[in-house]
Structure 1
């Protein structure tokens, strides 16, 4: 006589439930663009959703606490000249979000903590380098201001948002449309999926494909026979992967282990309405007092419905086994350090006392002065309508004139300061 042994797991009884009706976001015109991104991005402060917009592309940014019916005149983030295809919050600044569009550009925006009076139309920086529409963007997990974009031109470009410059261009690596891109935990490698049915592991700094065309999977899980797109969300703290079917009405979740059979089915959350997109909250944005291990923001045609995944526990104490230290908002590296070859693990924080989002930190973009790049000696070949005889002596003359103007301004400022001091003496009756 044999006994069936049940696999031990603290996540075996995870269950999902929607929030109450008054905690949903309603009357949102979710975008109808036929693209396979999630259309939603969330962080501990905001939920952002790509929406329908006449004459260009736009998305809406709502504070998490602003639930209920959204006013039809609520300000949008709008600046693209074609539909927005993907959005992603910066992991190191909860007020900075990037957007990718059919207009071939990537824009980075600063969102204030207060609700703006009118549309946000001016990005902090516009990144131009793709020749076709851009459908994927992803921030580097540990390096400050490093952003990845992938377009229908089969290019992957890495940007330094702090200077508005390209860091790397990965070309001739993909033969067809790139479906998705993901970083490893410290951002030293990235993995891509492609329409040519190949998965590539890439070292971006060496610009090399390290592995592709994997022979045999370590585990194979048959999902269903539908041809809908699956949006995967992986939580490294719990080793749970959530598969959300776009156009489906369910969320299937599995626990990943390092022992065969590696993939263990846990449960399925189902609802009545199909989902058009999905947002996934970072671990630091969860409510640890309720043993919440994941929170999704499910998009319907006219609303956004938060769904909470919870581990049933009777104790009200902090559950250390559910909440190991998790990546916080501080970057471990600067962009130049990462580009030079340095790697660093994420800077972790404890959730024991809950996470309080930091105040608005302004993203500063410092573009290099074109005058710092002096032309080489000799005649310049120019294809523009400018005078081709503009040589180094002419440039030196311009620089000398700028220096003279600076000296004049400084002298005038001193004279104005002296006059103001004398005026103060007269008004005080001392002279």
Structure 2
């Protein structure tokens, strides 16, 4: 009689634990748009979700602690003139988020510490370069202020957000709609999937395609017969891959190893309700005291439910084998260095003593691109000079409000001490 050998793994018994009802976010009208993005992005300070909104596109930003039933008057980020299709927090500044929309623009926003007390309608920067709707935004993992966008015009643009310029435009690499884009860990490569059923590995600055089709898979896993879109998440610290599908009610997770068969199924988390999307918390936002190695924010039709992935351990001590040094919030390169040809891996931090999100960091943007674009004549017949004066008054008022918010933050910090 042969005996089946079970592969040893410290992640074999990882289990998913849904948050209690009072730790969920209720009464959220998740977007009904049919685009296949995750509709959600999260970091150690904020949770952002794309929501239904009248008169344009909007998404909601909540401090992580603001759980429970939300007020219907909750302010939104609502500067787009058409539905928002994708959002992503900046990995180097927890107060900065980018959004792509059907209005063909990308906008970059700054959320104040503590969240929104009024609707946010003025972005830091509006990036215009796509001729059709923008379905994907993705920040560079190690270079500051570098943002990727991909649109229905089959183009990938690489922006220096500080100057508001698209310094690289990849317009001839994809013959059809781009479904997804992912950076390598050091940002030296891109991987894209396209409607033409090809996966491309691209050197982004030169536009050179390093591989255009993967005919022989390293491993083949049959999941189910559903045709829903899969949302993969890879954790380089644990070499684990999590797969959840839109319209599905489960999360499958696997471990990747350097030897064949390379991909090993670990377990499955299932719940009764299917997901419309969801976001993964960066490793620095997890609770290491509970051996939490991942956290998924699952979007229902009217609700967001955090699900913690935990390794069962009896010891209360820090588990070093579960938490190698991980990517921190500091960039390794400037935008100029990366566009100039340099590459660097992430700057790592230890989670041994936990991670405390810093106060909002300064986001440097060329002041000239912050001025709102105005037509030379007013619709009501006003003169260009009057409009310019009004614009200047608004700018001064915005500067005054910003200064007051800064002073309040300083006073709060002093009071806390």
TM-score band, normalised by the shorter chain? 0.7 to 0.9
Contact 2:61 2:116 in 1 (8 A): no
Paired residue for 1:354? 354
* Partners of 2:358 and 2:167 in 1: CA distance: 29
Listed as ranges, the matches of 1:394-413 within 5 Å are: none
Q: Which residue of 1 aligns with 2:200?
A: 200
Equivalent residues, number? 370
The equivalent of 2:10 in structure 1 is 10
Inter-partner Cα distance in structure 1 for 2:53 and 2:105: 17
Structure 1 distance, partners of 2:115, 2:180, is: 32
Q: 1:207 Cα deviation (Å)?
A: 1.2
Q: Which residue of 1 aligns with 2:260?
A: 260
* Partner SS, residue 284 of structure 1: helix
Q: 2:409 is matched with which residue?
A: none
- Say if 1:249 and 1:135 are closer, same or farther in 2 by CA, change over 3 A: same
Q: State whether structure 2 residue 39 is matched by structure 1 residue 39.
A: yes
- 1:78 is aligned to 78
In structure 2, distance between residues paired with 1:204 and 1:156: 9
Misfit runs of 4+, over 3 Å: none
Displacement of 1:2 after TM fit?
Answer: 4.1
Alignment map for 1:1-400 (pairs within 5 Å): 1-366=1-366
**Structure 2 stretches lacking a partner, 5+ long:** 370-375, 377-417
Task: Give 1:118 shift.
Answer: 1.3
Retained in 2: the 8 A contact 1:110–1:362? no
Q: Check conservation: 1:283, 1:294, Cα contact below 8 A.
A: yes
Equivalent-residue separation in structure 2 for 1:293 and 1:151 (angstroms): 33
Q: Hey, what does 2:383 align to over in structure 1? A: none
Q: Distance in 2 between matches of 1:115 and 1:60?
A: 10
Give secondary structure in 2 for the equivalent of 1:92: coil
Distance in 2 of aligned mates of 1:139 and 1:149 = 9
**C-alpha deviations, 1:255-304, integer Å up to 9, x for none?**
11111111111111111111001110000000000000000000001110
Distance 2:33 2:62 in 1: 21
TM-score (structure 1 length as normaliser): 0.85
Task: Tell me the C-alpha RMSD between the 2 structures.
Answer: 1.2
Unaligned runs of 5+ in 1: 370-384, 386-431
Kept after mapping to 2: 8 A contact 1:26/1:69: yes
Deviations 1:32-54 (A, max 9, x none): 01110000000000000000000
Distance 2:137 2:204 in 1: 15
1:368 Cα deviation from its structure 2 partner? 6.4
- Confirm or deny: 8 A CA contact 1:88 1:98 kept in the other structure: yes
